[in-house]
Amino acid sequence: MRYVDGDVLPVPKRNMQAYRRIAQEAGRIWREHGALVFRECVGDDLNVKMGMPFPRILGGDQAL
């Protein structure tokens, strides 16, 4: 059975380096347990013109 697992996490810019270290370790563990691919993506332009911007969904711009 194939599937894709995805998560969206708000991480303050000041914590990105620490988050990347944690994400690399998590990716290694997931691959040990059968994950074929691990991707880590960062969005830096989340103020969209249509719909509700991601920071606002979370409760304000201070989340990012």
pLDDT in tens, 3-41: 777 777 878 889 999 999 999 999 999 999 988 888 888
Task: Retrieve residue 36's tokens.
Answer: 């074929």
27 near 36, Cβ under 8 Å? no
- Three-state SS for 29-49 is HHHHCCCCCCCCCCCCCCCCC
Amino acid 12: pLDDT: 84
